[in-house]
Amino acid sequence: MAAVVLARTLLANAHSTLSTSASFRTVINVPPAPFSLGPDSRALFLGSCFAENIGERLRRASLAALVNPSHGIVYNPLSLAAALERIASAAPYGPADLQPCAHDPSRLVSFAHHSRFGGRAGVDTELARMNRALEHAHAHLRTSDVLFLTLGTSWAFARDGAVVANCHKQPAAAFERVFIGADNAAAALARAVAAARSVSPRLRVVVTVSPVRHWKDGAVDNSLSKATLLVAAHQLVRTLGKEAASYFPAYELLMDDLRDYRFYANDMLHPSGPAIDYIWRAFTAAYLALDAAERIAAVEAVRTAAAHRPMDGDSAAVRQFGAAQFRKADEIERRWGLHAGRALAGEREHFARLRDGEPLRWADADADAEEQPESGPR
């Protein structure tokens, strides 16, 4: 009996020690960046769909962030560098930059752009739209404080020897699958950043590797791709200098900190909503100045309140709630300016309807579907 009691005591002590001292996660503490975003900072986000996850949150929180404005989502570093150089130069696109789609000749595509550009409106109309977007991006770059570059994959496709941003599902025979090495990627990005700084000399750079897995490349090739991008990202930061450039570990936060399929979306490739929230909090803690973080928190609080669906839209309590939230939105505009107020235009209208007892209008969907990496050539 004494042996049984001793064994139980030792087991209980071991369990107590394990539960109080052991950690079942490898938590990544992201250090503060050497520069920060204030409430009046302007940022340009370029790269993979993960750039849109973070950049759109800043934009929705009323900061002056522009996300993939001129070329759309770009996954590989050479196409990303080419897009940035084109934004810096603002050299317009011409008829030779549009090609008829092989499986739908009425649709025009550009191999420098995502499929959100191009269409069936004719050469002049499509070029005008592409060049307006380019001019808009160039104007924003001229006044930007921070440039965010998100690298998606080292694998790419080349057409006539030139790497393309998107194959637009054209026939596979027209393309060659290529691998972009770290030195090549870092050098191209460094040249592009130099071009951008010729337009905006004060520009700081944040580089990150997207945690989205490109599973169509296969497990081994995806790992090789991400490892190469990590090397390229750190080479770029060293080239630019740590006072002017920074690496944000989005990839590591998902792969080494969260590290669980619970934090992936249903496709098991993209980060889930809670994972993006976690990475977003790490990002804001590292890169946002206190006043910018305070402004974002105020805007997000109003947006959260606007998402609340009251049981009785015509009660006195609901009208009081709408009036109080409308005043909060007004206070945000008074404190942080018209741009912040405009960011809450929809919420202000919603709260005005609550305040006045008017019927409410709800969107059919609560969230946009996540964008999937586009497939290669057919």
Mean per-residue pLDDT of the chain: 87
- Sorted by where each begins, the domain ranges of the chain are 42-288, 298-356
Q: Residue 14: pLDDT above 50?
A: no
- Cβ distance 206 to 33 under 8 Å? yes
Q: Residue 368: pLDDT above 90?
A: no
* 76 band by pLDDT with thresholds 50, 70 and 90: very high
Q: What is the pTM of this model?
A: 0.84
CA R_g for the chain: 24
- Comparing 9 with 292, which gets the higher pLDDT? 292
Q: What is the mean pLDDT of residues 58-80?
A: 93
* 332 band by pLDDT with thresholds 50, 70 and 90: confident
* 365 band by pLDDT with thresholds 50, 70 and 90: very low
What is the reported pLDDT for 369?
Answer: 38
Q: What is the mean pLDDT of residues 107-133?
A: 95
Model pLDDT for residues 259-300, shown as the tens digit of each residue: 999 999 999 999 999 999 999 999 999 999 988 888 888 888
Q: What angle do CA 303, 208, 144 make, to 5 degrees?
A: 65
Q: What is the mean pLDDT of residues 41-61?
A: 90
Q: Residue 10: pLDDT above 50?
A: no
* 346 band by pLDDT with thresholds 50, 70 and 90: confident
CATH class of 42-288: alpha beta
What is the reported pLDDT for 334?
Answer: 83
